[in-house]
Amino acid sequence: MSARDTILGMLRAALGPHRPDRAAIAAEAAALLADPALIRPALAAEDPVEAFAARVVSPKVNATLDRIGALAGLPAAVGRYLAAQGLAPEITVQPDPVLRALDWTGFAVRETALPDEAVALGRARWGIAETGSLVFESGPETAVLNHFLPLHHLVAVAAGDILPYLEDHAAVMGAAPRNLNLITGASGTTDIEGSYVRGAHGPRFLHILLIGP
Amino acid sequence: MKVDLSFKGVTGRAIADRRLKTAIDRTTMTAETKRRLALMDYPQFEAARARGTAIKDHVVANLDHYLEEFERNAVASGAVVHWAATAEEACGIVVGLCRQAGARHVTRAKSMLGEEIGLPHALEAADIERVETDLAEHIIQLAKEAPSHIVWPALHKTREEVAELFRVAHGRPQDSEDVPAMVESARRQLRSLFLGADVGISGANFLLADTGGVCTVTNEGNAELTTTPPRMHIVTAGIEKLVPSLPHAYALLRLLVRSATGADITQYTTFHTGPKRAGDRDGPEEFHIVLVDNGRSRMLATGLRDMLRCIRCGACMNHCVVYRQIGGHAYGATYPGPMGAVLTPALEGVEKTRDLPHACTLNGRCQEVCPVGIPLPTLLRGWRDTSWKEGLVPGSVRAGLWAWRFVAERPRLYRLATAAAVRAMRLFGRRGWIAGMPGAGGWTDYRDLPAPAGRTFMEQLRDRKTGR
Ligand code: SF4
């Protein structure tokens, strides 16, 4: 008998003969998602965009935030950040058509993050106000390592793509991408005597560029 | 000198180790405070806990259904699903896959299931070089030790000890006063190893039945760096990790992270679905998922169904008075603390591990904090019961209990005996405390015993009723 048969057989023996059918199981699973308002925390502000903005700079997320009115202002905002950090204008830009279409004159731009990348810019598909998370879906225009190799992770997200709650993201997401990455702050660890240190394996700095009025 | 390896011997040494106590306190007290603060911002916790409990119960009640659904969808996404009834089978599958991939070195992101099935040893025995990438696991790999906590495996290590381990292993001087510099040293050391690995192995926090997806959560980002660059990603996961769909996982995630670290969400929460797709910029060519039973289906059949809800948050050990005195290693098993004292007898047999369910004050803190309402004290009492019924309780304890029962079942004899006892005990009392008394050394060697009042409760009650 295969391990699969053994395991399923043991489970069925333990669960007994009277079992709900598929439809009943599905109905029960759906009922477990009813009234999500009962089980989720209040947002930091009524407006999801404001809640998101407040959340990401709070100690819970500890990112830095730059709000820019329009997408066209993104390269200048990136330039400001690099200058303030004393970094060269040399970055990896996620090969996302929206980002590539911008005018990057004055920057040395790469498509793929180096093993020891200093700065990478990405564009989040969504932002989640509840947690301050940035959501990325891997694909031809989004490399996963782009979010993990750089020391400074810069992320553009449109105000129109901010969702209130985690459940709202589950509702708008289409087919599952290979990797769905929720990123909430910079990499951190408390593994040595519980003291919090940033930049464990992933980025040490997360800088969010929130685009829109 | 012969080292006493009994549970009593091990815990005795652990309690005497002041350094260990300091190390345990530093992390568990921070965790306790941060959890409390997190819940103050989340008044919905009770409702969420009831919901989380119901979700896990629903999954366990339909586990066969969800496993099959998960398998179907994972296969459709291009993953290969393997089933392992035992730890040996699971290790055999992983080692076989590594060999098939011609792997010389593999990276591994922390997984308690991997520890449970003995995967580190199995890889070593197969001559496959293993790099632990979670910082704490990296530390204990260098120290050749086992984890002592399910969330902070290196909680027992001081920064001085870590500095010494890193100095030797990283070949660079370390300053134990500068923890960020030590973290940076590990970052430099591991970066090239991430990118050069042939296989990446991870665990799973949740398995999503409706997509075949696998969820990992970390704060360091090591899971993604472990699973993205290599040609092959292998997941080892316990069969109880299933949830119906993404929003169910989100509901549980809120409970898991707050209970574990007091944050609202981990820095990195990733759902992996299948191998690299056409046009993808990175990702593994092969994606294997090993579904491991290793005693779980037996737990379902033997009254431990509630334990299958466990989401491995570690809150029960952070709040356990016993764990905080003796630390994780004293439990002598992969899972320490209250959840470990319930799980270990199920995994390894109660004959060898009967001390664990007895090393508990039944104060109930663990159940109070458990985010999925597991009645840990009741389950521990269940093991005590089993150990009594199977005749595993030592003869002296049995004899004592029989004697007590004999007296307790005879009220007149009982009253007589207690009246004599309280009077005899008073002879040893000094200012209301007993510092020593024949037969009471187990207590009085460590602290004084309050001397009883002059008469028993029943005597006093009788006096009161008769108005004297
Ligand atoms: S038993 Fe409860 S508190 Fe303990 S690790 Fe499991 S889920 Fe957390």
Percent of chain B whose pLDDT exceeds 90? 78
Inform me whether the pLDDT recorded for B394 exceeds 90.
Answer: no
Q: According to the model, what pLDDT value does residue B336 have?
A: 96
Please tell me whether the overall predicted TM-score, pTM, comes out greater than 0.90 for this model: yes
Please write the tens of the pLDDT for every residue from B320-378.
Answer: 999 999 999 999 999 999 999 999 999 999 999 989 999 999 999 999 999 999 999 99
Domain at A42-211: CATH architecture: 3-Layer(aba) Sandwich (3.40)
pLDDT tens digits for B268-288? 999 999 999 999 999 999 999
pLDDT at B143 (0 to 100): 96
Q: What is the pLDDT of residues A186-205, one digit of tens each?
A: 999 999 988 899 999 999 99
Residue in A187, A131, A120, A207 with CA at minimum distance from that of residue A162:
A131
Which residues partner with B236 through β-bridges?
Answer: B290
ipTM reported for the complex, 2 dp: 0.97
Instruction: Give the pLDDT confidence of A94-151 residue by residue, as tens digits.
Output: 999 999 999 999 999 999 999 999 999 999 999 999 999 999 999 999 999 999 999 9
Q: Dump pLDDT digits (tens) for A104-118.
A: 999 999 999 999 999
The one-letter amino acid code at A3 reads A
Question: Pocket of ligand 1, candidates B310, B319, B322, B334: which has the most ligand atoms within 8 Å of its Cβ, to mutate?
Answer: B310
Q: Which atom of ligand 1 is nearest to the CA of B307?
A: 1
- State residue A28's pLDDT score: 98
pLDDT given for residue B1 in this prediction: 55
Q: How far is B239 from chain A (nearest CA, A)?
A: 9
Question: Percentage of residues in chain B with pLDDT exceeding 70?
Answer: 99
Domain parsing of chain A, residue ranges: 42-211
Confidence of residue B428 (pLDDT cuts 50, 70, 90): confident
pLDDT of residue B397: 86
Sign of CA pseudo-dihedral B155, B161, B163, B169: negative
| Residue A161 confidence (pLDDT) above 60 | yes
Q: Kindly state the helix (H) or strand (E) to which residue B253 belongs, with its residue range.
A: helix B246-260
What pLDDT does residue B8 have?
Answer: 87
Q: Residues of B with CB below 8 A from A204's CB?
A: none
**Residue contact A201–B133, C-beta within 8 A:** yes
Tell me if chain B has a CB within 8 Å of the CB of A114.
Answer: no
The minimum CA-CA distance between B47 and chain A, rounded to whole Å, is 6
CATH number of B42-296: 3.40.50.10420
pLDDT tens digits along B34-49: 999 999 999 999 999 9
Q: Where are the domains of chain B?
A: 1-41+314-393, 42-296, 395-465
Percentage of chain A lying above the pLDDT 90 cut:
96
Residues of A in contact with B224 (CB under 8 A): 144-145, 147-148, 179, 181, 202
| Contacting residues of A for B297, CB less than 8 Å apart | 7, 10-11, 14
- The token pair at A27 is 């109905």
